[in-house]
Amino acid sequence: MPLTSARFSLAWKRLSVCLVGAALAWGGVTAAEAAKPRKVSAAKPSAAKPSARASAKAVSAKGKSARTASVVDRRGRRGQVAALAGGRPGRSRGHSVVRAAPPEPPRLSYGQIAGLHAVADPLDLKSSVALVVDQDTREILFSKNGSAVLPIASLTKLMTGMVISESRLPMEAPITITEEDVDTERGSRSRLTVGTTITRGEALHLALMSSENRAAHALGRTFPGGLTAFIERMNQKARALGMQQTRYVDPTGLSSLNQSTANDLAVLASHAYHDPLVRGYSTSPSYQIDTGTRVVQYQNTNRLVNNPQWEIGLQKTGYISEAGRCLVMQTKVAGRQLIMVFLDSAGKFSRLGDAERVRRWLEARTVMGSIGPVHLSKPG
């Protein structure tokens, strides 16, 4: 039969279908599946064999630990896993994985490192160091690691206040906050912006009541002779009071090198209590200042000053991670004038809780009669 043009065209179409079917069968895909519409996505892997250039890129990628490896499961779906062993999953952006920075482990206080929290006490205090002294008789009623030398954080400002008060500098003199007063060591916050001008008395009030770091630093910076002379005066005063285990390197307490013991701090608190300016400013419940652009309200960092169950004549709180939560107070409990010191307390409000425990213990002890002083310390 002669091969006409129409028959040739039909034969060619049939041959083409056979060839396509054979190719699909060779690739593991049926003609029916090939006929189904498919969505094309750049995120899905190609069924074709990778080129030599693509293979080279894949080999190069294996040597980079910060990249992610593509994983294709049996269903053909694509996922991503971190190439680094033990890596943490992060949020995916396109084909890359952004890992969240691992959280920093909590920084241990010096007391925790020294094992001072392992010393048990009958009151189950959360502070690794505690001291209760009768201010009039100097009798030690309770002592736990009282001679341990630790960072004292903003308890430093009690000495700052005493040096300023005893210097007899004019309290109405203006002091301007500068860049030098900004905390670059810990990045602590302050509502006293650079350029704010307040009086020396206002700065002292904020330093003792609200533990204002820029105010405390400005007091030392503007002292006659500058910051170096002020710190030297702080250490001279400590030696004059017999605080042999105490050292100051700044007027704020932000440095962990400001160190002392509960025994030394009790001496400081007892002397500071007799300074009317320090006593009044430290126990002020609240205070507001006019910065020139706005009125700023400050509160006392020790909530016990507003508690009617407490009669507090002097107080100061402190905290940096190396020191833990700290508190020193002069107070009246069960008819006795007392000095209380709590250092390295574990927990935001635990130092206040420890003060409450001691108060209840002393009140119960008074009702039951004297049971003798308590002295506890870490062996060795």
Give the torsion sign (CA, 121, 317, 190, 249).
negative
Backbone angles phi, psi at 184, to 5 degrees: -100, -10
Are 333 and 345 within 8 A, CB to CB? no
Tokens 């992060």, located at residue = 90
Burial code (b: 16+ CB inside 10 Å, e: under 16) for 285-315 equals: eebebebeeeebebebbbebbeeeebebbbb
Are 147 and 245 within 8 A, CB to CB? yes
Give bridge partners of residue 319 from the DSSP assignment.
325
Helix (DSSP H) and strand (DSSP E) numbers for the chain: 11, 16
Angle subtended at Cα 60 by Cα 58 and Cα 66, rounded to the nearest 5 degrees: 95
* CB-CB neighbours of 317 under 10 Å: 24
* CB-CB neighbours of 92 under 10 Å: 12
3-state secondary structure of 295: strand
Give bridge partners of residue 298 from the DSSP assignment.
287
Catalytic residues: 154, 157, 211
d(CA 376, CA 360): 19
Q: Which two tokens stand for residue 209?
A: 């009541």
Instruction: Find the helix or strand (DSSP H, E) in which 143 lies.
Output: strand 140-144
CA dihedral 278, 282, 283, 289 (to 10 degrees): 110
Q: Which two tokens stand for residue 41?
A: 């996505």
